[in-house]
């Protein structure tokens, strides 16, 4: 049985083709600059990387070429081998509490919810429509980033603002990266052979969120109404006092959208360090005994402080934690980041093994045997989660 996982952006389409018998990726790739000059695709198969510049005027072109290449490169014998297509969908508001078969109603809802994810929902619809056109008889499944967080209780998801904002305008915490947090919870529960775990899942990449999970369900999460909230990120501020917005509007003559744009694109590591949004550059600059070094240090310290604060908050909320998991770009790869966060948590009895913590991109326990809490690095796999949900629903 073969399933394709799709992540459609406004000008890109990522795919992974899975053999569901062994849950392994057969081929994966990316179609880029769809509808823009200089479009191309890259397909990875059998240890080889095939890249070609080719005109892609829309997502349907990309899907047609993708399916054609899968056959002509002998990755599959015919399109009949594709049993299902799973789509990563970003915003399902509070209507979609789990993955579902994609119907016209789902597509209409994605369009109706577009104000909640203006960059993502319309792009997701383009991906769905392209597959519907090219593979009309193959079932499609939608896997929402927001769905996993739908188990939060009112006191977690409500903001302390007029209740009518929630009732009339849907102002509440939705949370994101849900498919990744769900994958982390499933993987660590299977590894430890327990379903009753208290897990703090730290998905820290360019964007990042921390989620408190109890018995496999989300209790609270750091991102909010939008992915701007929570921890400090590569270019996003995370939580700030909202009064800063009107103050800066007046001081710098900007409108509200422009200030939000700065909070999304020019803040976080980039804003505070004035060096880079990439933790690798920050860590490299921290070694300098000059102005660059102190800029990098202040960004690193603020970053790790905000992550520590959320872990500490969720430790209390959960009444302790069995496992803290690190995943995504920084979580999987950045030794100094994990070291600092865990040092900050030492008063809770969290201890890591500095040798084990050198791990990059591999599943590994990094806590010492006398640590109060297990600490693991768990590489995330949202594509596999999408394929597994698709398999379950098409069966």
Q: Cβ distance 134 to 64 under 8 Å?
A: yes
CA dihedral 289, 294, 297, 299 (to 10 degrees): -150
- Based on the shown chain and the rule CB under 6 A, indicate whether residue 197 belongs to the binding site for ligand ADP: no
Instruction: Provide the token pair at 135.
Output: 């593979």
Closest contact distance (angstroms) between CB of 86 and ligand ADP is: 18
Per-residue interface string for the shown chain with ligand ADP, residues 249-268, x marking contact by CB under 6 A: --------------------
Give the distance from CA 270 to its chain's centroid: 20
Per-residue interface string for the shown chain with ligand ADP, residues 268-297, x marking contact by CB under 6 A: ----------xxx-----------------
**Residue 373 per-residue DSSP state:** S
- Based on the shown chain and the rule CB under 6 A, indicate whether residue 333 belongs to the binding site for ligand ADP: yes
- Based on the shown chain and the rule CB under 6 A, indicate whether residue 205 belongs to the binding site for ligand ADP: yes
334 or 390: CB nearest ligand ADP: 334
Closest contact distance (angstroms) between CB of 145 and ligand ADP is: 12
Phi-psi region for residue 277, left (φ > 0), alpha (ψ -120 to 50) or beta? alpha
Count of residues making up the chain: 395
Instruction: Provide the token pair at 301.
Output: 């310290």
Closest contact distance (angstroms) between CB of 278 and ligand ADP is: 4
Q: Could you tell me whether strands 2-8 and 13-19 are parallel, antiparallel, or unpaired per DSSP bridges?
A: antiparallel
Q: Which stretch binds ligand ADP (CB under 6 A): 8-16, 91-99, 205-213, 302-310?
A: 205-213
- Residue at shortest CB range from ligand ADP: 329
> How many other C-beta atoms lie within 10 A of the C-beta of residue 197?
18
Q: Cβ distance 186 to 192 under 8 Å?
A: no
169 or 280: CB nearest ligand ADP: 280
Q: Which stretch binds ligand ADP (CB under 6 A): 110-118, 199-207, 241-249, 303-311?
A: 199-207
Phi-psi region for residue 166, left (φ > 0), alpha (ψ -120 to 50) or beta? alpha
- Based on the shown chain and the rule CB under 6 A, indicate whether residue 127 belongs to the binding site for ligand ADP: no
334 or 344: CB nearest ligand ADP: 334
Q: Which of residues 299-328 bind ligand ADP (CB under 6 A)?
A: 328
In 3-state terms, the chain is what percent helix, strand and coil (to 5)?
45, 20, 35
Neighbouring residues of 30: CB distance < 8 A, sequence distance ≥ 6: 12, 13, 14, 15, 41, 42
Q: Which of residues 206-245 bind ligand ADP (CB under 6 A)?
A: 206-207, 234
Closest contact distance (angstroms) between CB of 191 and ligand ADP is: 21
183 or 315: CB nearest ligand ADP: 183
230 or 234: CB nearest ligand ADP: 234
320 or 361: CB nearest ligand ADP: 361
Q: Which member of 80, 83, 115, 145 is catalytic?
A: 145
Instruction: Provide the token pair at 113.
Output: 């919810």
Number of residues that bind ligand ADP (CB under 6 A): 12
Closest contact distance (angstroms) between CB of 283 and ligand ADP is: 6
CA–CA separation, 56 and 42 (whole Å): 13
Place of tokens 């660059």: 292
Q: Which stretch binds ligand ADP (CB under 6 A): 25-33, 204-212, 258-266, 338-346?
A: 204-212
Place of tokens 């600092």: 340
Per-residue interface string for the shown chain with ligand ADP, residues 157-196, x marking contact by CB under 6 A: ----------------------------------------
290 a catalytic residue: no
| The binder of ligand ADP chosen from 201, 221, 306, 334 (CB under 6 A) | 334
Quick check: helix, strand or coil at residue 250? helix
CA–CA separation, 244 and 345 (whole Å): 30
Supply φ then ψ for residue 118, to 5 degrees: -60, -30
Place of tokens 């009949």: 80
Residues tagged active-site: 145
Binding site for ligand ADP (CB under 6 A): 205-207, 234, 278-280, 328-330, 333-334
């Amino acid at each position: 049985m073969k399933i394709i996982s799709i992540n459609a952006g406004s000008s890109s389409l990522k795919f992974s083709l899975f053999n569901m018998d062994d849950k392994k990726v057969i081929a994966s790739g990316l179609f880029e600059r769809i509808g823009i000059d200089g479009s191309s695709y890259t397909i990875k198969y059998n240890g080889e990387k095939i890249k070609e510049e080719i005109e892609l005027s829309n997502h349907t072109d990309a899907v047609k070429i993708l399916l054609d290449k899968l056959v002509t490169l002998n990755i599959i014998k015919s399109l009949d081998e594709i049993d299902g297509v799973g789509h990563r969908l970003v915003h399902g508001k509070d209507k979609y509490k789990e993955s579902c078969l994609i119907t016209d109603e789902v597509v209409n809802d994605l369009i109706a919810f577009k104000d909640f994810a203006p960059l993502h929902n319309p792009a997701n619809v383009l991906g769905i429509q392209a597959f519907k056109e090219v593979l009309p008889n193959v079932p499609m499944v939608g896997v929402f980033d927001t769905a996993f967080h739908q188990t939060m209780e009112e006191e977690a998801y409500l903001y302390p603002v007029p209740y009518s904002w929630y009732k009339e305008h849907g102002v509440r915490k939705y949370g994101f990266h849900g498919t990744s947090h769900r994958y982390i919870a499933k993987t660590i529960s299977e590894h430890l052979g327990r379903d009753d775990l208290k897990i703090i899942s730290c998905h820290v990449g360019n964007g990042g969120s921390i989620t408190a999970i109890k018995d496999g369900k989300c209790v609270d999460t750091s991102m909010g109404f939008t992915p701007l909230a929570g921890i400090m990120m590569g270019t996003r501020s995370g939580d700030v006092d909202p009064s800063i917005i009107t103050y800066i509007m007046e001081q710098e003559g900007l409108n509200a959208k422009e200030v939000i744009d700065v909070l999304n694109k020019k803040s976080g590591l980039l804003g505070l360090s004035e060096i880079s949004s990439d933790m690798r550059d920050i860590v490299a600059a921290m070694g300098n005994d000059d102005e660059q070094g102190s800029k990098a240090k202040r960004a690193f310290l603020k970053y790790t402080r905000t992550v520590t604060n959320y872990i500490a908050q969720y430790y209390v909320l959960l009444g302790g934690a069995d496992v803290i998991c690190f995943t995504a770009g920084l979580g999987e790869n950045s030794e100094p980041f994990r070291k600092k966060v865990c040092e900050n948590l030492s008063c809770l009895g969290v201890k890591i093994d500095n040798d084990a913590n050198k791990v990059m991109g591999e599943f590994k326990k990094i806590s010492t045997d006398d640590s109060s809490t297990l600490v693991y690095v768990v590489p995330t796999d949202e594509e596999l989660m999408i394929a597994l949900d698709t398999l379950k629903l098409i069966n």
